[in-house]
Amino acid sequence: MSQSLAFPDAAYSVKTTSRPLRVAIFGFGTVGRSVARILVESAPAGLELTHIFNRNVHRKRVDWVPSSVAWSSDADALLGSAEDAPDVILELAGGLEPAGDWVRKALAAGKSVITANKKLIAYHGLELEAIAAAHGSRLLYGAAVAGGIPVIPGLENGLSGDRVERVEGILNGTCNFILSKMEAGAEYGAVLAEAQGMGYAEADPTEDVGGFDARAKLAILIRLALRAQVHPDEIETCSITEVSAIDFSYAKDLNCTIRQIARAERIDGHLAATVRPMLVPLVSPLAWSRGTENMVITTGHYGGDVVFSGHGAGGHPTAVAVVSDLLGLAHGSCRIAIPSTPSKVGTELEVPHYIRFMVNDRPGIVAGIASALAHEKINLNAILQKPGYPLDRLPFVVTVEPCRTSALKRALQEIGRMPALLEKPLDLQILEK
Amino acid sequence: MSQSLAFPDAAYSVKTTSRPLRVAIFGFGTVGRSVARILVESAPAGLELTHIFNRNVHRKRVDWVPSSVAWSSDADALLGSAEDAPDVILELAGGLEPAGDWVRKALAAGKSVITANKKLIAYHGLELEAIAAAHGSRLLYGAAVAGGIPVIPGLENGLSGDRVERVEGILNGTCNFILSKMEAGAEYGAVLAEAQGMGYAEADPTEDVGGFDARAKLAILIRLALRAQVHPDEIETCSITEVSAIDFSYAKDLNCTIRQIARAERIDGHLAATVRPMLVPLVSPLAWSRGTENMVITTGHYGGDVVFSGHGAGGHPTAVAVVSDLLGLAHGSCRIAIPSTPSKVGTELEVPHYIRFMVNDRPGIVAGIASALAHEKINLNAILQKPGYPLDRLPFVVTVEPCRTSALKRALQEIGRMPALLEKPLDLQILEK
């Protein structure tokens, strides 16, 4: 039995078309610049950066891009069928329009499109796939979820043989930055300002902290992992702004931290999905992510848990995913078409909860809460109360054993009628490991 | 700007050939049975399990496989071109031969081959790719590294746009099981026996504990991530059997644990690769892996670190990777051909080291060691000595700052001449984070 080595010279030959693919970057912001940087520095065979499109493109011009690249503010010209028009559009502008219009026109003109636009794919992905299929063009969006972490290629090419039953993850770097800083003792307002100063958060942070950015990404993962077509707006979201320093302190007592978790699961034939701040046990990989890191954990019926983590955002990591899709195109690879079916999405789960109350202390509060929970057959697990708070504004925490979301909602409505409550209780699911 | 949803019915159409692909399982062991189980339970469109091959196949027959499947012990008949012969061979027997012979014949006959055989791909992958290219057949081996974790699809489809500069990981579940149990206080011999009892370790564990299994997988990762063709035998290995309980105790004092790490890196144009037990800082994701888990971390010039982890071995996870490759074939996807070039592999790194000595204590030992290190311009970092050991068999530890492998080797040769040394010092690299 020989272990000798024979390496034929041309074993890995790169398939190229007769002429290099002409590539246009649409949107010369952070990601667009990083993509251009990689293409200029690595000059992959079989493709050529020919155009950069941006509104008022003269403001964007840089000197390190070869002079052969044409700078343009005329989208329609680039999306047309002129002989020197690009073959591939890299849509890196983001947002639903005009990006959606460009992508539709490009696909209908037989051009391939690579996009990092999670919102466009979450809301219009299937429509765009259909246009691509009708015109023999191709649509790739490996960068749309978790940027530089190959979650989409992993699902399409490595996990399609499994039956994925759950997907959960940290899909928004801004929230993770804020919450991991709050875990270390910082206050929400100060961290948000820091994140804005570093360019991690927008002036209006609603898309991120409200869970809408993660929701779009989760809708894409639901399609590829759980094979269900859902409308992103049907996924329930809850903002991280309701979490305060005291919650991290209580979470720590419970051997947990708090993260914005995007989560979808098939239970008894139903699909439940949500994006919310949750209590995450410190032993879970999800608790280890720091800063702007992203992480996705899939749970397969056959293969069990698979964890992907890394830099989910930023120009360079996202650009790696875009260029990888582009190399795939140039080398003649093609995506596995994962079938999916339309599905309603609910919120009904059976999980344990952390509920933090803020009360004006008086006798009977615990009895009232316990009675309302018992009425819904919810088992109370622990009552935690830290010393040092004023009695007329006293935070305390109740944890409950796994219970139906709807039952707890009814109990909390009942509890909400108690006059001692100063504000709506903060209800956080506890991730089980 | 509308966010309304239009989900065309046939957006994800599955491409199938005119008749289903006929699939044969070669080797009905743990992985073969799991693959059959998934194919029987999920019955994917476009392919049909038609044959199961094994030596003395009558011993292997099970009742849950449909009666339409033919059981065979005649490899040549299945590898031929008879009309009812299979189109795709799933090579799940392992080892270099006869597996290599089957794969060559199948590829030369225009059949596609999917294999989980890391050794065959590490030693003969390029030769087999060339046969496939010459005959228009296809070779897929997503299961060859890290089983159910989509590291190979991630590299090929998601990270090809980056310039990966380092890859490191835990690629052997048996070693990880043994070392993570030793970390918790168990002795090597007892854990090995336990692992053998649970089917995690072979009667002769040399392939695993000696680093040869991980070495084959590392050679494949070097080709796909670092794009270098190396002969697996050139990768230096070191057995985990030299690590003892006292080393875990000292490692803990250094905020580290010990794991078998497979590691390859490009430094100054050179490629260095090794499989050895190493000190891993507790803050590294590599320290978090427990039991038979596998983990791979790639470090890209543009995208930074990406972590993949999950179940690297076992029938079901490995079968998921095999079936995913099979679905890729059936759906008409194709692999990106990653170019690579022949490369020598060295061991020269500049990393910190942990060196554990076993001495018959006498004056001048530390002076002698310090002087030998100084002679090679190696900076001593710390000297650790735990109390409670007999003076005539005293273990103590020296850590040194990052130094060239070759310089440390010379110093240790010099130190080895000291009569006080009772055994060869244990030299472990310390993984930097």
Could you tell me which residue, A81 or A282, shows the higher pLDDT?
A282
In a domain, A323, yes or no: no
Interface contact B150-A161, CB threshold 8 A:
no
Query: Is A126 within 8 Å of B8 when comparing Cβ atoms?
Result: yes
Contacts of B294 in chain A (CB under 8 A): none
Do A374 and A284 lie in one domain? The reply is no
Contact A300 B323 (CB under 8 A): no
- What is the model's pTM? 0.93
Q: Are residues A180 and A294 in the same domain?
A: yes
**CA angle at A363 for the pair A399 and A248, rounded to the nearest 5°:** 30
Give all strands of the β-sheet with A88-91 in edge-to-edge order: A70-72, A47-53, A21-26, A88-91, A112-115, A139-140
Q: What is the pLDDT of residue A15?
A: 40
The residue among B269, B273, B271, B263 whose CA lies nearest residue B299 is B263
CB A405 within 8 A of CB A421: no
Secondary structure in 3-state letters for chain A:
CCCCCCCCCCCCCCCCCCCCEEEEEECCCHHHHHHHHHHHHHCCCCEEEEEEECCCHHHCCCCCCCCCCEEECCHHHHHCCCCCCCCEEEECCCCCCCHHHHHHHHHHCCCEEEECCHHHHHHHHHHHHHHHHHHCCCEECCCCCCCCCCHHHHHHHHCCCCCEEEEEEECCHHHHHHHHHHHCCCCHHHHHHHHHHCCCCCCCCHHHHCCHHHHHHHHHHHHHHHCEECCHHHCEECCHHHCCHHHHHHHHHCCEEEEEEEEEEEECCEEEEEEEEEEEECCCHHHCCCCCEEEEEEEECCCEEEEEEEECCCHHHHHHHHHHHHHHHHCCCECCCCCCEECCCECCCEEEEEEEEEECCCCCHHHHHHHHHHHCCCCEEEEECCCCCCHHHEEEEEEEEEEEHHHHHHHHHHHHCCCCECCCCEEEEECCC
Contacts with A218 (C-beta within 8 Å, 6 or more apart), sequence order: A167, A171, A232, A235, A262, A263, A264, A273, A275
**How close is the nearest chain A Cα to the Cα of B338, in Å?**
6
Token couple for A278: 């949750």
Q: Do A321 and B161 touch (CB under 8 A)?
A: yes
Contacts of B307 in chain A (CB under 8 A): 307-310
Mean of all residue pLDDT scores within chain A? 92
A280 with A381, same domain: the answer is no
CB-facing half-sphere around the CA of B256: CA atoms within 13 A: 22
**A136 alpha carbon, distance to own chain's centre:** 29
| Ranges of chain B with pLDDT below 50 | 1-17
Does residue B325 sit within a domain? no
Which residue in A162, A324, A339 is closest to B14 by CB distance? A339
What CATH number does residue A391 fall under? 3.30.70.260
Average pLDDT, integer, range A43-68: 94
Q: Are B107 and B132 in contact (CB under 8 A)?
A: yes
Among B157, B167, B152, B149, CA closest to B301: B167
- Best of A107, A157, A227, A296 to disrupt the B interface (most B CBs within 10 Å) is A157
> B140, B167, B185: which is the final residue of a domain?
B140
Query: Is B217 assigned a catalytic role?
Result: yes
Q: What is the pLDDT of residue B305?
A: 96
**Looking at the structure, do residues B245 and B366 belong to the same domain, yes or no?**
no
- Block residue for tokens 């790719």: B129
Q: How many Å apart are CA B284 and CA A288, to the nearest integer?
A: 10
pLDDT over 80 (residue A158) = yes
Phi/psi at A320 (5° precision): -60, -45
For residue B148, give the nearest of A306, A319, A335 by CB distance: A306
In tens, the pLDDT along A212-222 reads: 999 999 999 99
Residue B16 lies in a domain: no
Statement: residue A47 has pLDDT above 70: yes
d(CA A138, CA A332): 11
Q: Identify the residue with better confidence: B432 or A103.
A: A103
Same domain, A155 and A120: no
Q: Are B150 and B317 in contact (CB under 8 A)?
A: no
Of B267 and A49, more confident? A49
Indicate whether A225 and A197 sit together in one domain: yes
pLDDT at res. B102: 98
DSSP B270: E
What single letter denotes the amino acid at residue A152? Answer: I
Q: Which of A26-35, A339-348, B3-12 has the lowest mean pLDDT?
A: B3-12
> Residue B144: helix, strand or coil by DSSP?
coil
d(C-alpha A314, C-alpha A319), whole Å: 8
A260 and A222 co-located in one domain: yes
Which residues in chain B have Cβ-Cβ distances shorter than 8 Å to A140?
Answer: none
Q: How far apart are CA A91 and CA A122, in angstroms?
A: 15
pLDDT (0 to 100) of residue A199: 83
Say yes or no: B288 and B193 in one domain: yes
Binning chain B into helix, strand and coil, the percentages to the nearest 5 are 35, 25, 40
Distance from CA of A302 to the nearest CA of B (A): 5
Distance CA A331, CA A229 (A): 30
What's the pLDDT score for residue B221? 98
The question of ipTM being above 0.95 is answered as: no
What's the rounded mean pLDDT across residues A20-44? 95
- Final residue in a domain of this structure, among A89, A108, A140: A140
Strands A164-170 and A304-311: unpaired
How many domains in chain A? 3
Contact B161 A322 (CB under 8 A): yes
In this structure, the answer to whether residues A68 and A193 fall within a common structural domain is no
With contact defined as beta carbons under 8 Å apart, do B397 and B430 qualify? no
pLDDT of A12: 30
pLDDT at residue A334 above 80?
no
Which residues, 6 or more positions from A158, have their beta carbon under 8 angstroms from its beta carbon?
B142, B149, B150, B151, B152, B153, B154, B321, B324
Q: Which of A126, A161, A310 is nearest residue B7 as measured by Cβ atoms?
A: A126
pLDDT of residue B71: 97
Considering the domain architecture, whether residues A302 and A158 belong to the same structural domain is answered as yes
Sign of the Cα torsion A311, A314, A317, A321 reads positive
- Looking at residue B348, its pLDDT comes to 87
- In this structure, what token pair is assigned to residue A84? 């020197």
Is residue A52, in this structure, part of any structural domain at all? yes
Whether residues A159 and B320 touch (CB distance < 8 A) is answered with yes
pLDDT given for residue B335 in this prediction = 72
Return d(Cα B21, Cα A227) in angstroms, integer.
23
Amino acid at residue number A432: E
- Residue length of chain A: 433
Q: What is the pLDDT of residue A295?
A: 97
Averaged over A385-414, what is the pLDDT?
A: 94
Distance from CA of B400 to the nearest CA of A (A): 29
Taking only the tens place, the pLDDT of each residue in B351-408 is 999 999 999 988 899 999 999 999 999 999 999 999 999 999 999 999 999 999 999 9
**Pair A168, A267 in one domain:** yes
Q: What is the Cα–Cα distance from A66 to B227, expressed in whole angstroms? A: 27
Same domain, yes or no: B134 and B168: no
Please name the amino acid found at residue B22: R
Considering only the beta carbons, identify the residue of A12, A157, A303 that sits closest to B129: A12
Share of chain A above pLDDT 70, in %: 96
CB A399 within 8 A of CB A253: no
Its domain, for residue A68, covers: 21-140
Name the DSSP class of B393.
G
Site from B117, B160, B286, B334 to mutate, A interface, most A CB atoms within 10 angstroms:
B160
Identify the pLDDT of residue B65.
Answer: 96
- In the structure encoding, which two tokens stand for residue A208, read together? 């991120």
Q: Give the CATH number for residue A47.
A: 3.40.50.720
**Would you put residue A268 in left (φ > 0), alpha (ψ -120 to 50) or beta?**
left
CB contacts < 8 A, A to B, total 256
At residue A357, what is the residue type? F
**Around Cβ B96, how many Cβ atoms within 10 Å?**
16
> Annotated catalytic sites of A, by residue?
217
The per-residue pLDDT for B268 is: 84
Q: What is the largest CA-CA distance in chain B?
A: 83
* Region of residue A402 (left: phi > 0; alpha: psi -120 to 50; beta: else): beta
Angle made by CA atoms A367, A369, A375, in degrees to the nearest 5 = 100
Q: Do B302 and A96 touch (CB under 8 A)?
A: no
- Residue B209's domain is classified under what CATH number? 3.30.360.10
Distance from CA of A325 to the nearest CA of B (A): 7
Of A120, A140, A160, the domain-final residue: A140
- Strands B394-404 and B350-359: what pairing? antiparallel
